[in-house]
Structure 1
Amino acid sequence: MRYLSFLCISIVSYSKLGKCALFCCLASLSLLVHSQQTGPETKRSDMTVADNQSFLAPLVKESLLLDVAQTNTTVVVGERGHVLVGNLDQQEQLTQVPVPTTVTLTAVDGFGDTFLAVGHDATILRSTDSGQTWEVVFSSVDLDRPFLDVSFINEQEAFAIGGYGLFMRSSDAGKTWEQVQHFSLLSPDDIEYLESLADDPEFYQEELNYIFPHFNRISRRGDAIYLVGEAGLIARSADYGNSWERYDIDYFGSFFDARELSNGQILAVGLRGNMFLRGDDGQWDRIESCITTSLNSIVEQNDDVFVVGNNGVVLSLDPSQLSSNERAQTNNENCSGHIALSKIDSAISSSITNAFMLDGVLSAVSANGIQPVE
């Protein structure tokens, strides 16, 4: 029940936590109902392991799915511990595999044959055989916060991030994890506030537990690592995550993804259609998207760039046009979007958290499962 309150309150405050508040809240509801049906979890030292493995659902490809990762295979994760594994580009080859948890899995990433999946109850799963079998390497209900993203930095280094500044690091390809805090990811006001509590260590620690913003997504381009979250957080690390520089941007809503594009520009997307670009001059400029719903992910497929979001939104982006000040023709809602963006019509109406190429077609990872975009 604790996650139901935590995540649903997030909808009111900033409309998305991590992959998207709607998804996480729906996932929490599903998880709550499922836990009532399957009974309590069993504790083993500091980890929690479900009594039963994930349920093999006949309609799993139409269930709430939240993320996808591709290396030499494709792995998709979602509610109730659902994990689908298969061929890189054939949907009929995607099949569900059992995993030793029923918590909602919010994110997945892979490096070679090794995959990591993370989710609620601060759970981390690991596979070393391209997603065929999994083990729980970390889980803690007591942390009282979910993981929202996971990313390999190289073959050995990996990060897992989540609610209230949850940040864990592995240096052995996900076998073991340690929790770390980076004060440079706090806003200047929050740092000043903590410094004012120096004479009260107990209260300082109490505030420290919840003062960090939610960390929503990590991405990498070359040696640069980007982290985004709520309260306008965009940060960059140039030393494999050992230190971070927080960008100053005139926006205080949540960001859900940021990517350094092939042309060196940095694109960030977030709440209520907000999109910002950091150009060659180092300034962040708002890009008009004419979208009022949340934008969840920036998807790069070969030379194509897409932005996906709630209500089935899929935008095609031309990076070569981003530096232009031109606007497209005014739409039916009297909005003129940036010339670099064009909306792709599709039959999808549910929230989309990510997308990938399947059977040669851009396919959405969505609240209604895997759906073709075009």
Structure 2
Amino acid sequence: MNTPLRCALGLLLGLAAPVFAAPPGDRLERPSREAADARQEPLTDVQRIGDRLVMVGANGHILLRHADGKVQQAQVPVDLLLTAVHFVDEHNGWAVGHDGVILHSGDGGQSWIKQLDGVAINALMLKWAEAEVARLEAASDADDEALDNALFALDDARAGAASGPSRPLLDVWFRNAREGWAVGAYGMIVHTADGGQSWEYLSSLDNPERLHLNAVLGLADGSLLVAGEGGRLYRSSDGGRTWQPAQQPTQASLYKLLQLADGRLLALGFGDTLLSSQDQGQNWQSVALPVRAGLYGGEQLADGSLLLAGQGGVLLASRDGRNFTPWQGKGRSALLGVAAIDAGQLALIGSAGLQVMPLAGIGEQRQ
């Protein structure tokens, strides 16, 4: 488990080796250090909260860009790669990252506390695996394959506990200020029903290959959707207790899930992969794109138009979510997210940090 994670963010940002260079315990206990200009450091996710942006990235950096353009670096108790952020209101938000860390802010992103890490996740997994093996060994009608799988899970949990907190989390989504889910490497899913005061390991998703789960999203009909490595898509209608595999139209890894204002779902992924669903993720169709570039983030603007951010500084713009026009940034660094600052400005984030540009600039290049 100490092998550097070959996930999309590590490859894109070139951070796999540096992130794993320091002992994990140090990263989890050492506060993020103030950067000379954190806007130029790699950023992985962005969300607009009221009149400000909250961004997360390398070295435990969490940045707030206020309406006046000033960028503030938040107080963060860990010094490691953060991969995703999700706020449910203007006060309560969660961020996740490497070493299984989950952070919570109750003041709109100004300060953060650690709620969970890989050490605690290892303990949750070990407790579950021991109980599952004991249950199956005591059952007179236990399935041999199920017992073999449980014994493998127990060995894996013991190895994980021995090697330390090395189970990266890659996405997080909360339904409200109390209930949320985080997903990550090797098929990891954890759930809380009390705002993160306690967490449980969910083992019900059928993923014997332990493929990475890269994205989680709550849907308009109340169900959950998870997407990940190898084009895998899963739906749950009971909060993650049971999962049903959705149609799988691609083998390409999926990195991001979006639900549009009209209810359509989009799944973004490797190469030029863009999938669309009209039935809450049960069936999917491929959407043709004008360029071959991996897609990692996106946002629907107030006017209904859609922007998708991706590999090589590519931004795809669409009025209808079906027909896209490419925009190419001056640099070739990966774009991992996009957010509207106001009606006329965009924030682009990625391996080169934060870029602010006029929305009209995209239209000018398209003409």
TM range (shorter): 0.7 to 0.9
Corresponding residue to 1:343 among 293, 311, 326: 326
Alignment CA distance shift 1:146-1:249 (3 Å): same
User: Is residue 29 of structure 1 aligned with residue 17 of structure 2?
Assistant: yes
Q: What is the aligned-residue RMSD (CA, Å)?
A: 2.5
After superposition, the C-alpha distances for 1:189-224 in whole angstroms (9 at most, x for unaligned) are x5xxxxxxxxxxxxxxxxxxxx22211011233224
Distance 2:82 2:272 in 1: 25
Q: Which runs of 5+ in 2 are unaligned?
A: 120-163, 362-367
Distance 1:216 1:230 in 2: 7
Q: Does structure 1 retain, via aligned residues, the 8 Å contact 2:173–2:217? A: yes
The correspondence of residues 12-91 of structure 1 with structure 2, limited to 5 A, is: 17=7, 20-23=9-12, 26-32=14-20, 35=22, 41=25, 49-50=28-29, 52-72=30-50, 73-87=52-66, 89-91=67-69
Give the CA deviation at 1:362.
1.6
Q: How many residues matched?
A: 308
Partner of 1:134: 112
2:85 partner SS: strand
After superposition, the C-alpha distances for 1:286-316 in whole angstroms (9 at most, x for unaligned) are 2221332211123222222111111111101
Q: Does structure 1 retain, via aligned residues, the 8 Å contact 2:271–2:293? A: yes
User: Is residue 317 of structure 1 aligned with residue 318 of structure 2?
Assistant: yes
Partner of 1:146: 168
Distance 1:361 1:313 in 2: 17
- 341-350 vs 119-128, greater mean Cα deviation: 341-350
Corresponding residue to 1:111 among 76, 85, 88: 88
Give the CA deviation at 1:236.
2.4
Alignment CA distance shift 1:272-1:318 (3 Å): same
Give the CA deviation at 1:40.
7.1
Partner of 1:14: none
Q: Does structure 2 retain, via aligned residues, the 8 Å contact 1:117–1:124? A: yes
Give the CA deviation at 1:21.
4.3
Partner of 1:203: none
Q: What amino acid is aligned across from residue 343 of structure 1 in structure 2?
A: P
1:68 partner SS: strand
Distance 2:310 2:68 in 1: 24
Q: Which runs of 5+ in 1 are unaligned?
A: 11-16, 43-47, 191-210, 323-339
Report percent identity of matched pairs. Answer: 26
Corresponding residue to 1:173 among 189, 195, 203: 195
Alignment CA distance shift 1:259-1:49 (3 Å): closer
User: Is residue 217 of structure 1 aligned with residue 215 of structure 2?
Assistant: yes
After superposition, the C-alpha distances for 1:78-133 in whole angstroms (9 at most, x for unaligned) are 1111111242x4432x2102211111111111122111111111111111111122
Q: Does structure 1 retain, via aligned residues, the 8 Å contact 2:247–2:283? A: no
Q: What amino acid is aligned across from residue 81 of structure 2 in structure 1?
A: T
Distance 1:310 1:228 in 2: 19
Give the CA deviation at 1:283.
4.7
Give the CA deviation at 1:280.
6.3
Distance 2:69 2:227 in 1: 31
Distance 1:249 1:40 in 2: 36
Q: Does structure 2 retain, via aligned residues, the 8 Å contact 1:78–1:104? A: yes
Distance 1:147 1:49 in 2: 14
